[in-house]
Amino acid sequence: MELSSLQKARYAYQPKLPQMLRGGIAEISVSEGAETKSVADCEKIQALFPNTYGKKEIVFKKGTNTAEAKKLNVGVILSGGQAPGGHNVICGLYDALKSTNPENQLFGFKGGPSGLIEDSYIVFDDAYIDAYRNTGGFDIIGSGRTKLETREQFAIVADVCKKHEISAVVIIGGDDSNTNAAVLAEYFAETNAGVQVIGCPKTIDGDLKNEDIECSFGFDTATKTYSELIGNIERDANSAKKYWHFVKVMGRSASHVALECALETQPNICLISEEVAEKKMSLSEIADYIADSVAGRAAKGMNFGVAIIPEGVVEFVPEFAVLIAEINELLAGAKADEFNALPTWADKYAFIEKGLTKESMEVFAILPQGIQQQLFLERDPHGNVQVSLIESEKLFSALVADKLAARKAAGEYKGKFSALHHFLGYEGRCAFPSNFDADYCYSLGYNAFMLIQYGYNGYLSKISNLSKPATEWVAGGMPITKMMNIERRHGEDKPVIRKALVELDGKPFKFFEANREKWAQETCYVYPGAIQYYGPAEVCDLTTRTLALEKAE
């Protein structure tokens, strides 16, 4: 395979470890802290996890390693969507495992959780691992979205582990994957299977975080990648001076990516889904808010701008959520066949008009026809609207165009409005990890082995103090149950890791809120440029603006 110059250079990069993990495995001891409890629904979570609930938080430190010396076989899977740095978690795990005992083996199960069930794996060696150091993607073993959640599946996984004498499984994934890791760990504890489960926090959406997990891996690289592209678009907008760019970014359930990109690039508009929900903003109000910026800038001769739109924002608009619920009800059962049999869109529109309430029909009527049709054509396996497929960047530019046309007719607006649309998603999921993510992920993997060696089960690998240089990071672990609460899923109470939404009273949002009025009317663009891998630490090892503001640095 032909390698790029950057690939060759990155293979040679030596990730930085926290001070307490340096100097050899034999010099790492463990310190146990207080017992833990879940973030909510403590009694229910404890009842579901009697064997793994309430365990102590732990921190590693310099000292004599007191773990039992024995040969270890460990399994690892990548679960869910790709995030930059996943390869380095595996590399860190492999290096720690091999440095303890060269006879230790790391089994990489292919294609995500299904690889564990199907016993599809590779046993890593130095040559295989070395080809993936500090690279993006999950192609080292692939990933998948199969959920490990039934006792039948757990029994199969236990048999596979027994067959290969595997005593621990590391699950690298997001909130759902680590929820599954906690349930699997409880099963192994209950059945005395002799297998530990350790999780690692991954998601570019940034919503797997709390007081213990300061940042999920991949978020830094993905947002820097998107911010570079948004900065390029801003530079182009300021050069051509004739287009408004509507940029949709990843973030179905939370707006961390949108907010971080806004803090990095200072666009004219950035919607924050959590604020839309808090203020109960309507589609019309959001469109007016954007149109105010367009009109204000046009009055100064600036018929251009940039707006960042979170992927899932429409789901946070209360009236839109009601509309979706009514559409799902309207097309339930045989009604869907009746609707689909109608010959023309006009006939279908009449059917819709009869079936929706007056309030929801008013919302439906202002949508562009393409979006209207999308709501009725794209269904998920349960027959529901696939809201994530809605092109919200096109929806809002169309609504803004209508608002401006009305203002022009009333003599309130004389500018020009031409919109271009972008969706930044896959571009960031497999980028070469930044130095931060390369270091962070390697530390997470190395640390995961320490949790295994000391016998912990149902724990998440935890690296904290992340806004400081890597030498000052703190390595340890926390029980996954500490992050859990009960949520209603498909009509049942389920234990899940609580998603972290953008905190509207948090420092990152407050900084954005204090500056956005100026950004909306003036051209304050910042051009972050490409991720830098070599050079001064203040350029190459930068953390996210979100983390810096949260830690007040």
Catalytic entry in 95, 175, 205, 220: 205
Counting Cα atoms < 13 Å in the Cβ hemisphere of 108 gives 22
Is 205 known to be catalytic? yes
Distance CA 418, CA 481 (A): 50
- Contact (Cβ atoms closer than 8 angstroms) between residue 183 and residue 458: no
For residue 411, give both structure tokens: 């003599």
Judged by DSSP in three states, 133 sits in: coil
**Please, which residues have CB within 8 angstroms of residue 11's CB and are 6 or more apart in sequence?**
130, 131, 133, 134, 135
User: Residue 58 phi/psi, 5° resolution?
Assistant: -135, 155
Query: Which amino acid is located at 529 in the chain?
Result: G
Q: Each residue of 74-92: b (16+ CB within 10 Å) or e?
A: bbbbbbbbbbbbbbbbbbb
CA angle 146, 150, 154 (to 5 degrees): 85
Cα–Cα distance, 339 to 324 (Å, whole number): 16
Q: Could you tell me if 13 and 134 are in contact, meaning their C-beta atoms sit under 8 angstroms apart? A: yes
Q: Name the helix (H) or strand (E) containing 80.
A: none
Instruction: Give me the residue label for tokens 């390369």.
Output: 438
At 148 the three-state DSSP class reads coil
Give the residue among 172, 199, 201, 166 at the shortest CA–CA distance from 185. 199
Residues 72 and 58: beta-carbon distance below 8 Å: no
Q: Which residues are catalytic?
A: 205
